[in-house]
């Protein structure tokens, strides 16, 4: 059965008139008759009994009528849903983002996206940087936001902005009065950082090791929020991406420009090559690119 045949059957069955059905379908009498004949031959028997004066459904035609109505309704619903998805009147997009980004810069981006596309739902997976790459690679999500991966990565990276590490110190520390601090001075104090295999931890250690320096780690945590609270409590100092400045300040710590060496790395959107994004994911991807995140960070 074809969609055209089912629609022709319904038009005749509901009107019990080939002439009326022809007008509804904008078909000639011969074209409609051939369509019904092809349907009957395909199914193996007559669906209508007709003479020069009357058209009636056969018992088999009566049986097909509710099924045909349901088929057409399902088809029309599917067609309508897909049209709404392509026009972003509805839809869903899945995203993975490292917690530092998800908790700081992502909410205002999603607010902009929701204002543009109020009927598109977004699922956010806030996971560590390594898991973001893994979820995009395994197609568990369409988009990921993370630090730029190594060149050996099989993912496509679209940079959004360059993030620079800043020092985090207690408010009552003498360091809090400084406008800028170098790594040598910062490392004279007990250091608090994320546990391995955090990308933030690995990046710090690799950059400092290249300069002959080592992190004097005394406290470790899986969460940046915990790191911030430890610093605010006076247990030591830390260094975090600039996107975390607002979070660190809310926790009661002070952030200072950190130099010598300057440690920075691009943050951007990850996608899997060879797979076209859904209309909803593409719209969110475009929203990311529209944001001036560097300006938003400098305004903090």
pTM: 0.66
Nearest in space to 268 (alpha carbons), one of 165, 162, 159: 159
Task: Compute the residue count for the chain.
Answer: 300
Q: What is the pLDDT of residue 82?
A: 80
The pLDDT of residue 300 is above 60: no
The 3-state DSSP class for residue 44 equals coil
Q: What is the pLDDT of residue 143?
A: 95
Counting other chains too, the contacts that 88-91 makes at CB distance below 8 Å and 24 or more residues apart are: 88/117, 88/119, 88/120, 88/279, 88/280, 88/283, 89/119, 90/119, 90/120, 91/117, 91/119, 91/120, 91/121, 91/278, 91/279, 91/280
Cα 69 from Cα 77, distance rounded (Å): 12
Q: Name the DSSP letter for residue 175.
A: G
- Taking the CA atoms of 185, 248, 103 and 223 in sequence, report the sign of the dihedral they define: positive
- Taking the CA atoms of 154, 159, 162 and 167 in sequence, report the sign of the dihedral they define: negative
pLDDT tens digits, residue range 172-223?
Answer: 999 999 999 999 999 999 999 988 877 788 888 888 888 888 888 899 988 8
Q: What is the pLDDT of residue 297?
A: 59
Contact (CB, 8 A) for 215 and 191: yes
Nearest in space to 168 (alpha carbons), one of 232, 215, 226, 105: 232
Q: What is the pLDDT of residue 208?
A: 87
- Residue range 107-123: mean pLDDT, rounded: 91
Cα 27 from Cα 19, distance rounded (Å): 10
Cα 65 from Cα 56, distance rounded (Å): 12
Q: What is the pLDDT of residue 284?
A: 93
Q: What is the pLDDT of residue 132?
A: 92
**pLDDT-based confidence at residue 298 (cuts at 50, 70, 90):** low
The pLDDT of residue 88 is above 70: yes
Q: Which two tokens stand for residue 171?
A: 């408010």
Q: What is the pLDDT of residue 296?
A: 58
- Residue range 118-134: mean pLDDT, rounded: 89
pLDDT tens digits, residue range 25-83?
Answer: 898 989 999 999 999 999 999 999 887 778 899 989 999 999 999 998 888 878 877 87
Neighbours of 298 (CB within 10 A): 10
pLDDT tens digits, residue range 245-288?
Answer: 888 999 999 999 998 888 888 999 999 998 888 888 999 999 99
Cα 260 from Cα 232, distance rounded (Å): 24
């Amino acid at each position: 059965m074809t969609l055209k045949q089912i629609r022709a059957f319904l038009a005749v069955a509901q009107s019990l008139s080939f002439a009326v059905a022809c007008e509804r379908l904008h078909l000639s009498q011969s074209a409609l008759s051939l369509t019904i004949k092809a349907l009957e031959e395909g199914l193996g028997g007559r669906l209508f009994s007709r003479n020069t004066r009357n058209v009636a459904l056969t018992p088999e035609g009566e049986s097909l009528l509710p099924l045909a109505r349901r088929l057409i309704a399902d088809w029309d619903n599917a067609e309508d849903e897909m049209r709404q998805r392509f026009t972003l009147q509805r839809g869903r997009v899945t995203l993975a983002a490292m917690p530092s980004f998800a908790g700081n810069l992502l909410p205002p981006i999603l607010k902009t996206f929701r204002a543009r596309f109020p009927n598109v739902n977004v699922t956010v997976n806030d996971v560590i940087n390594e898991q973001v790459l893994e979820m995009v690679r395994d197609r568990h999500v369409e988009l990921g936001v993370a630090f730029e991966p190594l060149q050996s990565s099989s993912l496509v990276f679209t940079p959004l902005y360059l993030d620079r590490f800043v020092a985090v110190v207690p408010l009552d520390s003498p360091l809090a009065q400084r406008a800028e601090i170098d790594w040598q001075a910062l490392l004279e104090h007990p250091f608090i950082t994320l546990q391995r295999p955090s990308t933030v931890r690995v990046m710090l250690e690799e950059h400092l090791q290249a300069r002959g320096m080592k992190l004097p780690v005394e406290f470790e945590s899986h969460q940046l929020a915990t790191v911030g609270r430890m610093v605010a409590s006076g247990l030591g100092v830390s260094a975090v991406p600039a996107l975390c400045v607002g979070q660190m300040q809310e926790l009661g710590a002070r952030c200072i420009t950190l130099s010598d060496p300057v440690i920075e790395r691009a943050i951007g959107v990850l996608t899997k090559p060879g797979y076209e994004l859904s209309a909803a994911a593409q719209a969110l991807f475009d929203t990311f690119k529209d944001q001036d995140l560097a300006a938003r960070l400098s305004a903090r």
